[in-house]
A and B are shown apart, each in its own frame.
Chain A
Amino acid sequence: MLRFILGRLAVLIPTFLGVSIIAFTFIRILPGDPVMLMSGERVMSEERYLELTHQLGFDRPLWVQYLDFLGGVLTGDLGNSIVTRRPVLSEFFSLFPATLELSLCAILIAVLLGVPLGIVAAIRRGSWLDQSIMGFALVGYSMPIFWWGLLLIILFSGVLGWTPVSGRISLLYFFPPVTGFMLIDSLLSGQEGAFRSAVSHLVLPSIVLATIPLAVIARQTRSAMLEVLGEDYVRTARAKGLPPRCVIGLHALRNALIPVITTIGLQVGVLMAGAILTETIFSWPGIGKWMVDSVFRRDYAVVQGGLLLIAGIIMLVNLIVDVLYGLVNPRIRH
C-alpha cells in the first residue's frame, strides 16, 4: 500500500512542478509590465522603474526568478496581492472556508439525492420512473448553471421573496469568524436568527453548484448499479431466496459504489469551475469570485498564486481518492 501511495506521489511531483511553471509563465506573458502595473495611474521615473525592477528581481534571468518563485511556494510565500498588498496565501485562507462550505453543501446535496435516484433508476430500468430520472439528470448535466442561478433568483428572491440575493449572511449580524464556516459561526455567536439567515443565504448557491455533480452522480450510480445487477453473485444471492432489499443493499450496492466514489472525487474540479460562476452570481465571497475579480483587476500575483493553490487542492483530493480507491479495491494496487 505504501508503495502504491509513493508511486502516485512520484507522478504528482512532476505534475505539480509543471503546474507551477504554467502559473509562473502566465504572469510573464501577460500583456503589460508588472512593475508598471504597480505604479498604477502615477507616472514613474526611469530611475524609479529600474530600482523597482531590481528590487522585485525582474532583472534576473528567468530561471533564477522561477527557482525563487518555487522556493517561495515551498516555504508558503506566494507573494503579495498587487491590489490589496496582503499576502496571497493569507487572502486565500481567509476566503477558502466560504468556498469549502458551499462546495461541501453542494456535494452533500448531490450525493444524498444522486445516489438514491441512480439506484431507483437502475432497479426500475426502462420504467417511466427511470426515464424521467435520467431525463432530469441529462437536463441537469446540460444546464448552464449561471443561467440556472439567475432563474432561481428571479423565482425565490424576486417573486416569492424567500431568499436573499447575495452574500453569506444578513448585514444585521456581525460576529468574528471562528471556523470560517458561516453555519457553525452563526450558531456559536448565539445571536438570534443568525443561523437562519446563514442557511437562507446558502440554499440557492448550494442548489446551483450541486446541479451538475448531482446529474453526473445519478447517471454514474445507475450505470454502475446496472453492471453489478447483471453479475453472477447477484443472481446467486437472488437464487438463494434473499429478499430484494438485502440483495440490492448488501450485495449490489457495496460493489456498485466503488466507481461512484471515484466519480464523487472527480467532482472537485467540477465544483471549483462551478464555484467561479456560482460565487459570481451570488456575490459569494469565496475563492472563485476572488479569482474572477483578480483576473479583471489584473492582480497577477493573486492569479498566479490562486491557480497554483486550486490546482494543488484538486491534485491532493484526486490523490486521496486514488488511495481510497486502492484501499477498497486491492486489484488496482498492483
Chain B
Amino acid sequence: MATTNVKDPNAATGLEGRPTVAATRRAMLAEFWYYFRQNRGAVMGLVVFLLIVLVAIFAPLIAPHDPAMQVRGSFLVPPVWEAGGSWEFILGTDAVGRDILSRILYGARFSLFIGLVVVALAVTVGVIVGLIAGYFRGAVDTIIMRLMDIILAFPSLLLALVLVAVLGPGLTNAMIAIALVLQPHFVRLTRAAVMAEKGRDYVTAAKVAGASDLRLMFKTILPNCTAPLIVQATLSFSNAILDAAALGFLGMGAQPPTPEWGTMLAEAREFILRAWWVVTFPGLAILITVLAINLMGDGLRDALDPKLKRS
C-alpha cells in the first residue's frame, strides 16, 4: 500500500521490516481517501458539510443581525430580489420582524449540535450493549435483542414524540428520545460484527494469551467492527437532524424563539400562503444539510466496503 512518506524508509517500517502502527494507519487513511475521492458526490457532500460547520462556528461573525432581534415595522419583509425587499434583510424577515438569514445561520449550530449529541449517545450506548450481546450470547443476548425488537416495533418518530411528551417538550429531551430510538441499529450492527469476528483466530490467540473479557471486547474485537458503524453513524446523524426538526415542527422539540430550523417552520406555518420565504429557507437549510451528510454517507460506505472495492 503506498504511503506518502518515502524519503525515510525506517520511518514507515519498524526494526524487523514490519510497518509501524502509525505507518499502517497512514496507509489505511490514504487508501480510504483514494476510494472516497472516486465518489464525486461524496466529496461535494464533504465540502458542503465543512461549509456548514464553518457557518455554525462563525455564526456570530457572519450573521448580519441578532437572531432574536425583532425589528419593529419590518414584519414579513420579502427577500432582497422581490419587490419590497431590502439588502438589510437578504432572505427577508418573519412575522415578528426577525432576520431569516441570521436565524438560519444560527440554526446550523443547533442542527449540528443535535446530530453530534444524538449520534454520540446512540453510538456509545448501542456499541456497549451490542458488544455485550454479541460477546456473551445466551440469555443476556436474547433479552437485549428482544428489547431492541420492541423499540424497533414502533415507528421511530411516534416513539420519540411520545417519549418527549413524557419527558417534557424541549431540545434536550428530544435529543434523548431520538438517541433512544436510533440506538437499536447500532446494537444490531455491533452484535452482528462481534459474532462474525469472535470466532476468528486472532481473537482466540488473544484469549489464549490471557486477555480479559473487557480487553477482548474493546481492544481486540471492536476496532475490527468499526466500518459499518461509521456508515451507520453518518446515516444516524442525518436522521437525527431530520427527526429533531420534525419534533420541532410538531412543537415538541426546541421551543420558540430558538432559531432551530424545524421550530422556525412551525412558527411559519400560518403564513405559508402570504409569505413563501418564511417557510422555504429554513426547510432548504435542513434539506441541504441532510443531503450533504447522506452524500458523504454513500461515499463512506463505498470506501469502507471491501466488496465494492474489488469490483
Contact in complex: A295, B162 (CB < 8 Å): yes
- B146 partner, pick from A18, A31, A135, beta carbons under 8 A: A18
Partner of A272, one of B158, B162, B168, B279: B158
CB distance from B174 to the nearest CB of A (A): 13
Partner of A15, one of B146, B158, B269, B291: B146
Q: Cβ of A26: which chain B residues have Cβ within 8 Å of it?
A: 162, 166
Contact indicator B146/A138 (Cβ below 8 Å): no
Flag whether B121 is at the interface (Cβ < 8 A).
Answer: no
B208 within 8 A of A: no
Chain B, residue nearest A17 (CB): B150
Partner of A269, one of B41, B155, B242, B251: B155
Q: Which of A73-81, A144-152, A188-196 contacts B (4 or more CB under 8 A)?
A: A144-152
Contact yes or no, B168 A31, CB < 8 A: yes
Say if the beta carbon of A139 comes within 8 Å of chain B.
Answer: yes
Residue A206 lies at the interface, judged by CB distance under 8 Å to chain B: no
Give B2-42 interface residues, CB cut-off 8 Å to A. 41
Main secondary structure of the interface of B (DSSP, over half): helix
The A-B contact count (CB < 8 A) is 122
Which residues of A sit under 8 angstroms from B242, Cβ to Cβ? 142, 144
Q: Is the CB of B265 within 8 A of A19?
A: no
| Distance to closest chain B CB from A275 (angstroms) | 8
User: Which residue of A30, A142, A273 contacts B238 across the interface (Cβ within 8 Å)?
Assistant: A142
User: Within the complex, what minimum Cβ distance (angstroms) separates A92 from chain B?
Assistant: 14
Q: Is the CB of A151 within 8 A of B158?
A: no
A277 proximal to B (CB < 8 A) = yes
A311–B156 Cα distance when bound, in Å, is 11
Q: Does B245 contact A (CB under 8 A)?
A: yes
Q: Which residues of B contact A11 (CB under 8 A)?
A: 149
B287 touches A147 (CB 8 A): yes
Cβ-defined contact, A296 with B150, below 8 A? no
Closest beta carbon of chain B to A27's beta carbon, Å: 9
Inter-chain contacts of B295 with A (CB < 8 A): 138
Count of chain B residues near A, Cβ 8 A:
42
B162 contacts A150, CB within 8 Å?
no
- Distance in Å: Cβ of B292 to nearest Cβ of chain A: 9
Q: Are A141 and B294 in contact (CB under 8 A)?
A: yes
Closest to B147 in A: A18
Find chain B residues with CB under 8 A from A276 CB.
Answer: 155, 157-158, 161, 250
Contacts of B245 in A (CB 8 A): 144, 146
Within 8 Å of chain A (Cβ to Cβ): is B101?
no
Q: Is A95's CB within 8 Å of the partner chain B?
A: no
B170 touches A (CB below 8 Å):
no
B246: Cβ under 8 A from any A Cβ: yes
The 7 closest A-B pairs by CB, nearest first: A147-B283, A18-B150, A273-B155, A273-B157, A272-B155, A142-B290, A142-B291
10 contacts between A and B (CB under 8 A): A18-B150, A22-B150, A144-B283, A146-B249, A148-B283, A150-B269, A154-B280, A157-B273, A273-B155, A310-B155
